[in-house]
With several copies, the nearest count.
Chain A
Amino acid sequence: MPEQISGEKLFEEFKTVQLSEFFRKNRQYLGYVGKIKSLTTVIHELLSNSLDACEEAKISPSIKITISELGTEHYKVRVEDNGPGIPEQHLEKVFGQLLTGTKFHRNIQLRGQQGLGVSGCVLFSQMTTGKSTYIKSGTGKGKIVEARVEIDIKTNSPNLIDKKVENSIMRGTVVEAEFKGVQYTKGIRGPFEYIRWTAAANPHAEIMFKDPEGSEMLFERVIDKVPKVPKEVKPHPSGLEAHDILDLALKSKSRAISSFLSSDLARVSSDKVSEIQALVDFDLAKSPKRLEWPEAEQIVKSFKKIKFMAPPTDGLIPIGKDQIEKALNNLLSPDFIEVISRKPTTYKGGIPFIVEIAIAYGGNSGRAAASKEINERKVEIMRFANRSPLLFDAGGCALTKAVNSIDWRRYKLKDMENSPVSLFINLISTHVPYTSAGKQAVAGEEEILNEIRMALMRASRSLQLFLSGRRKASEIAERKKMYERYIPETAKALAKLTGKKEDEIEEMLKALVLERFGDDKPDDDEEEEELEEESAAYDEIPEDVSEEDE
């Protein structure tokens, strides 16, 4: 047996690493994997950040994105917004320190959440080009700051270079960074498609995009109203777990658990507190700081037995039915559109969410087939989380799963795969349960799946009605022509059979048809069904027999 090595010796190199080092070695966790996806992730992070900032500041966003090609797999990205700007003293940390931000601790719906967005971009730029990131920001109060920023990876701390402060009332932020080992594409997973989808979900924003070939595309603002400011909301009791309760209790300023529950949670009235008291075996009068785990578990159990009002929706800002309709009409010019906005509800952890979906049919709906032949369109699933497009990992995403779980044939959409249909699904939540830090797929929470299914089914019924109505209309026109073709043949045959005059029979048949249908009376559906049933009965005859029997 070889000499064994002691635990003491093994631990000589024991240390704690910094997040920045962790993510440098695991850049795929941040979505930087693959040449195309990496560039799209950059656009996603910067664009989301601008939109979030504008909305929080109640500013109608005007954003300009420029991507220029500097060499093979080497690009420069510049994003300018008219947002509130970043105060001088925070600039460093926003761009130069991971897991730093204004939103992580708040129960609020925003695109970015985890302080890994812009700083992740800076890290990625630095890793692939060794260069720092150029930033410029003004809050409109008379000063603008310009600088380059980089991250000290060993310490996860920011480093500002060439900082200049000038007098200007310019408001907004500019970020410009270079990236290598990335690739621009106009295709379905590339930046252009990402921006197009973003425009669809953000009709209040104006986005100008200049691509590496120099073409400029403007996605106009369709709605002038800035979305409501998302408010921070208190967590809702339904679905909260014991560790959440303990976490909240420790942070609470209340002096009794009873007041903690009614003031720190949503929809917990004093009546509800009495109900809770009746269900637990300890006194809710004691301090929340002294709440223990088994007691927290009791409270969670009591929550399951009590009916609370639905969670407040203040923290959730859906796009809204009208806005979605306007945006998609502008983008797709569909023949039919139905938008469904579900009521807010929660999933595990009391986290409120809203599902908005739209089905658009015809026009430019659907994904154009590669062959570019007219009307060769396939179904397109546009997934969004808090208005941000989800372009990747479609297979592992709950939104896709919800779509695939629908039996479209029940809605007489026989060949859904090859229909000119765009399905728009937006999940709004204070905390979207992404499956990974790449934020491209939503985890399969049952409540979310259900809400999407319900909405899709309702919209599908409307689409079904639209399509059958359209069929009806064309049927009425068809019918007239049909009898014009059949009457002469029938009259001629009947004349031969009976020796009566052909033209007289023809006139009489015409009169009968006119009397029955006028110009647009609907068909007799019942009889049609009877005929269908009858033919079905024929099908029962075994083929080999009926063939031989001819």
Chain B
Amino acid sequence: MAAKNKDKKFDEKIKKESLDSISGFGKKLVAAVENKNPPSFEIPLRSKTNISFDEKKKILVLGDKTSSRRFLNVAHARKFMQSALIASACKEYIEHDRTVGKRELYYNLKHSLPNSKENTFEDDIESGTVLNDLEASMGVLRERLHIEAKARGSIYGDITLSQAGDTFDCSKLGRGGWAIPGYTEDVDIINYKADFILAIENDAMMSRLIQEKVYKNLNCLLITGEGMFPRGVRRFIKLLNEKLKLPVIAFVDGDPYGFYIYSVLKYGSIELAHLSERYAVPNTRYVGMTMDDIETYELQNVTEQLKEVDKKRIKEELGYMWFKNNPAWVRQLEKMLDMGVRIEQQALANKSLDFVAKKYLPEKINEEKFLD
């Protein structure tokens, strides 16, 4: 099976769209000033109170609540200025075909204001917040503004990719994989052979599955985000999912954090709810670890006690709409509380090193023992 999507024109189109959005944002503000109106722009409110679960699209979405940034409001003025600075910088990056990291953006724009000790930005938290606001306000993906995400995570499997003129086979990289870069909008898929994408929480588990040749035996692509999947990896998974129509199967720890990682892959995150459509893969399925695995595979001896923070986190999650309405999830989380334990992916090594590859994953995936 092979897919090809090399389209320079398409890339140019995206670039133009992004530039139009940014210029449009600036033009609207200047137009207001020219008409002697106070300039302002709206931002969707990105707080939990404005987040809901879209039952149709099966993703987290932002509600209609917005707040505004008004230049003439004393409390807003600094953020307004910062927004203009970041917008104009992004315009330059796109025009010069450069992608920039979050902290690089901060340093690139930081300078002191005349006659004061005040800087345009005091730290990268400030610039990051304004960037989030801007992204939400313009409805343009950060990557399309040429701000790249943290590079962390890798892919391994029978897929040949092309980026920046290079073409490489991700199953021909020894024991390592391809380090997924922060910017993947321009990745093209040359060909591939896989039935699904296995998204793996733990990088040591990734290493085990590479060693055990799982990608061949189960015919899949292995992707890890080394813990919580960073947005770059999530975006890359989404791109693969869209282009190849491959289902995603999550393989995470049986604990509140594993569940949240899964929920973010599937429905999107609270923080980036305004971009769920560009990140979330609603038909993601959950293969493990489940609380039932502990009994089925006799793992009682290698569970870990829940700490108070874990319990608190479970209770928090049980309060989220998109958890609350899913009886299978609720059952797992409540069982977790009842048993007072959590179970890690690597606990499967207690059976034998190749247990996960030879028995656990084949059995559960072939028999579709999923939690949806």
CB-defined interface of A485-517 with B at 8 Å, one 1/0 digit per residue?
110111011101110100001001101110111
One of A475, A498, A511, A545 near B30 (C-beta < 8 A): A498
Checking A475, A489, A523, A534 against B113 with a beta-carbon cut-off of 8 angstroms, the contacting residue is: A489
A527-B76, A541-B271, A545-B260 known; A493+B27 contact, CB < 8 A: no
Cβ < 8 Å to A, chain B residues 100-116: 102, 113-116
CA distance A505 to B34 in the complex (A): 8
In the complex, chain A residues 500-550 whose Cβ is within 8 Å of any chain B Cβ? 500, 505, 508-509, 511-513, 515-517, 523-524, 527-528, 530-531, 534, 537-538, 540-542, 544-546, 548-550
Q: Is the CB of B48 within 8 A of A512?
A: no
Interface bits B214-257 vs A (CB < 8 Å: 1, else 0): 00000000000001101100000000000000000000000001
Give the residues in chain A near B118, CB-CB below 8 Å: 485
When the two chains form their complex, are residues B36 and A511 in contact, meaning their CB atoms are under 8 A apart? yes
- Check A497–B88 contact: CB distance below 8 A: yes
Against B, the Cβ 8 Å flags (1 = close, 0 = not) of A474-485 are 010001011111
Contact A550 B75 (CB under 8 A): no
- B72 x A516 contact (CB < 8 A): yes
Nearest chain B CB to A386 CB, angstrom units = 50
Q: Which of B72, B73, B84, B270 contacts A541 (CB 8 A)?
A: B270
- Which of B66-112 touch A at CB < 8 Å? 67, 70-78, 80-81, 84-85, 87-88, 91-92, 102
Which chain A positions have C-beta within 8 A of B269?
545, 549
User: In angstroms, how far is the closest chain A Cβ from the Cβ of B249?
Assistant: 21
Q: Of B27, B48, B67, which one neighbours A530 at CB under 8 angstroms?
A: B67
Task: Label chain A's interface by main secondary structure.
Answer: helix
Given A490-B80, A527-B75, A538-B46, verify A550-B23 contact (CB < 8 Å). Answer: no
Chain A residues with CB under 8 Å of B47's CB are: 534, 537-538, 540-541
Contact indicator A550/B34 (Cβ below 8 Å)? no
B128 within 8 A of A: yes
**Residues of chain B lying within 8 A (CB to CB) of residue A484:** 115
Q: Cβ of A500 and Cβ of B116 under 8 Å apart?
A: no
Assembled-state Cα–Cα distance A545/B272 (Å): 11
Q: How far is the CA of A534 from the CA of B132 in the complex (A)?
A: 14
Minimum CB–CB distance from B129 to chain A (whole Å) comes to: 8
Shortest B320–chain A CB gap in Å is 11
Nearest residue, chain B, Cβ from A547: B228
B81 and A548 contact, CB distance less than 8 A = no
A-B contact count (CB 8 A): 138
Q: Is B311 part of the contact surface with A, judged by Cβ < 8 Å?
A: no
- How many chain B residues touch A (CB < 8 A): the figure is 58
B76 touches A496 (CB 8 A): no
A515 proximity list for chain B (CB < 8 A): 36
A512 to B33 Cα, complex, angstroms: 8
Nearest-neighbor residue (CB-CB) of A496 within chain B: B88
B260 and chain A: residue at smallest CB distance: A545
Knowing A494-B26, A512-B33, A549-B269, say if A541 contacts B48 (CB, 8 Å): yes
**Are the CB atoms of A497 and B84 closer together than 8 Å?**
yes
Q: In angstroms, how far is the closest chain B Cβ from the Cβ of A481?
A: 7
- Asked if A537 meets B45 with Cβ closer than 8 Å, knowing A489-B120, A546-B271, A549-B272, the reply is yes
Tell me, in angstroms, the Cα distance from A492 to B87 when the chains sit together: 12
Q: Pick the contact of B70 from A500, A505, A508, A527 — CB < 8 Å?
A: A527
Contact A512:B88 (CB < 8 A) given known A489-B113, A493-B81: no
The answer to whether B75 and A490 have CB atoms under 8 Å apart is no
Residues of chain B within 8 A (CB-CB) of A509 are 33, 71
Contact assessment for B102 and A550 in the assembled complex, using a CB-CB cutoff below 8 Å: yes
A549 pairs with B228, CB closer than 8 A: yes
CB neighbours (8 Å) of A542 from chain B are 313, 316
Q: Say how far B298's CB is from chain A's closest CB, in angstroms.
A: 20
* CB proximity of B314 to chain A, nearest CB, Å: 12
Chain B nearest CB from A497 CB (Å) reads: 3
Is B72 in contact with A545, judged by CB distance below 8 angstroms?
A: no
Q: Evaluate contact between B36 and A508: CB separation under 8 angstroms.
A: yes
Q: Does B38 contact A (CB under 8 A)?
A: yes
Chain B nearest CB: distance from A547 CB in Å?
9
Q: Please name all residues of chain A whose beta carbon is closer than 8 Å to the beta carbon of B306 when the two chains form the complex.
A: none
B62 to chain A, nearest CB (A): 12
Cβ of B99 to closest chain A Cβ, rounded Å: 16
- B337 interfacial contact with A, CB 8 Å: no
In the complex, which residues 235-283 of chain A have their Cβ closer than 8 Å to any Cβ of chain B?
none
Determine how close the nearest CB of chain A comes to the CB of B242; give it in whole angstroms: 21
B-chain residues with CB within 8 Å of residue A497 when the two chains form the complex: 22-23, 25-27, 29-30, 84, 87-88, 91
**Would you call B48 and A537 a contact (CB within 8 A)?**
yes
CB-based nearest A residue for B31: A498
In the assembly, what is the distance between CA of A488 and CA of B111, in Å? 13
Do A513 and B78 have beta carbons less than 8 Å apart?
Answer: no
Task: Determine how close the nearest CB of chain B comes to the CB of A484; give it in whole angstroms.
Answer: 8
CB of B113, distance to nearest CB on chain A (Å):
4
Q: Is B208 an interface residue (CB 8 A)?
A: no
Complex alpha-carbon distance, A481 and B74, angstroms: 11
Query: B49 in the interface, Cβ–Cβ < 8 Å?
Result: yes
Q: Is B150 an interface residue (CB 8 A)?
A: yes
Residues of A within 8 A of B33 (CB): 494, 505, 508-509, 512
B313 x A485 contact (CB < 8 A): no
Complex Cα gap A159–B70 (Å): 87
In the complex, which residues of chain A have a beta carbon less than 8 angstroms from the beta carbon of B316?
542
**Chain A residues with CB below 8 A from B22, complex form:** 497
Contact A512 B72 (CB under 8 A): yes
* Cβ 8 A contact of A486, one of B48, B50, B77: B77
Task: Indicate if the CB atoms of B114 and A550 lie closer than 8 Å.
Answer: no
Looking across the interface, which residue of chain A has its beta carbon closest to that of B312? A542
Max count, chain B CB within 10 A of own CB: residue among A496, A528, A550? A550
Please, which residues of chain B bring their CB within 8 A of the CB of A524? 73-74
Which residues of chain A are within 8 angstroms of B25 by Cβ–Cβ distance? 497
In angstroms, Cα B29 to Cα A493, docked, is 11
Contacts A485-B113, A508-B34, A511-B36 given; 12 further ones with Cβ under 8 A?
A489-B84, A490-B85, A493-B84, A508-B33, A512-B38, A512-B39, A516-B38, A523-B74, A537-B45, A541-B270, A545-B260, A549-B271
7 smallest beta-carbon distances between A and B, as pairs? A497-B26, A537-B47, A548-B228, A493-B84, A496-B88, A549-B271, A485-B113
23 contacts between A and B (CB under 8 A): A486-B78, A486-B80, A490-B84, A493-B85, A493-B87, A493-B88, A494-B30, A496-B88, A509-B33, A512-B36, A512-B72, A523-B74, A523-B75, A524-B73, A524-B74, A527-B75, A528-B73, A528-B75, A534-B67, A545-B269, A546-B271, A549-B231, A549-B264
A-side interface residues toward B, CB under 8 Å? 475, 479, 481-486, 488-490, 492-494, 496-498, 500, 505, 508-509, 511-513, 515-517, 523-524, 527-528, 530-531, 534, 537-538, 540-542, 544-546, 548-550
